[in-house]
Each structure stands twice: as C-alpha cells, then as structure tokens.
C-alpha cells in the first residue's frame, strides 16, 4: 500500500502538483485496505447474484473432489441465458462438505446456495455432474433427489441431466 501511495505521489508531482495534498491525505492503512477489499467483494457478490437471477433459464454443473486435507469440496458452476439470448457462465461457489457427500447432503448444499442467490427453481433446465453414485444414483443420488424435490413443489419443467461431461478433457 505504501509503495502504491509513493507511486501516486510521484505521478501527482508531475501531473498536478497543486493536488498533492489530497493524495497525501489518502489513508492506505491495513484496516482501510481491508475494508475497501471487503466492500469490493460484497459488490462483486451482489452483481453475481443479480446476473444469475436475471437469467431466463439456467443450468448447473457440479464437481465433487477431495482436497489435500481430505475434505470433500463441492464446486458449483452456473450457466444461464437471458431474454436477449446472452449466455452467462460463472463459477459461483466452492462448498466444503462437512458431512459425507451423499446425494442428500449435496442437495442440501445446492438448495442452500440457490436460496442464498434467490434463484427460481422453475427456471432450472439442466444439471451436469460427475459420475459418482452420490450424484447419479437412481434412488438416493443428487440428481434424482433434485428432480423429486422439484416435482414435490409442483414444478413440471423438464430437467436435462448429464454426467461425466465435467471430466471429458481429463
């Protein structure tokens, strides 16, 4: 921060020396920088949520893997299309799975994320997962539980499901 401030002051000396006192009064303490980074993070997060909610239809892709500390991590990707046919893709969340990675636990994590983002499940049109039984099992797999959850809520849209597409290149 001090290096950046020194650079700003050097430029100010050359470009607009009469404004140097304004730049000298800019606080770049650790607390100020932390607060500004937190504000930018909040703004980016809200923008991400707004873009996701603005999509007419959306699909999600999930990938579950284990990190070096043997904690299961669930990566959630979002792909949506607006009314103007603009396509929006984004990695939206990495969820550390505290419990096991059963279909029910993955469903709970995904529904919690969708609720946090204010997503309308009636707009969900596709789900892509890895080929793990917890994701694709016909009775207790995430995909079947998600489809059942949607049907229980009275949603009748077709939800296209794919598996193993996430790892095609590998």
- Residues whose CB is less than 8 angstroms from the CB of residue 58 and which lie 6 or more positions away in sequence, other chains included: 52, 78, 79, 80, 81, 119, 123, 124, 125
Report the alpha-carbon distance of residue 113 to residue 92 in Å, rounded. 9
Q: Return averaged pLDDT per consecutive 10 residues of the chain, 170 residues in all.
A: 80 87 79 85 91 95 83 92 93 88 91 96 93 82 94 94 64
Are the CB atoms for 62 and 110 separated by under 8 Å? Answer: yes
- CA 90 – CA 65 distance, rounded (Å): 19
pLDDT score, position 93: 94
Beta strands in the chain (DSSP E): 57-66, 72-81, 87-97, 124-129, 160-163
How much is the pLDDT for 62? Answer: 92
Q: Could you identify the residue written with the tokens 């299961």? A: 72
Given this model, what pLDDT does residue 160 score?
Answer: 93
Classified as helix, coil or strand, 96 is: strand
């Amino acid at each position: 921060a001090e290096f950046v401030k020194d650079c700003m002051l050097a430029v100010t000396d050359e470009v607009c020396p009469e404004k140097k006192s304004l730049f000298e009064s800019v606080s770049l303490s650790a607390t100020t920088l932390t607060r500004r980074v937190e504000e930018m993070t909040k703004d980016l997060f809200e923008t991400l949520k707004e873009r996701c909610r603005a999509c007419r239809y959306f699909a999600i892709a999930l990938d579950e893997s284990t990190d070096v500390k043997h904690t299961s991590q669930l990566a959630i990707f979002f792909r949506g299309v607006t009314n103007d046919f603009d396509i929006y893709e984004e990695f939206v969340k990495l969820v550390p799975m505290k419990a096991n990675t059963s279909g029910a636990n993955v469903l709970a994590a995904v529904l919690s994320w969708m609720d946090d983002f204010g997503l309308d499940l009636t707009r969900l049109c596709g789900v892509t997962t890895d080929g793990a039984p917890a994701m694709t099992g016909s009775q207790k797999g995430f995909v079947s539980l998600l489809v059942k959850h949607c049907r229980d809520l009275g949603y009748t849209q077709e939800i296209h499901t794919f598996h193993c597409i996430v790892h095609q290149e590998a």
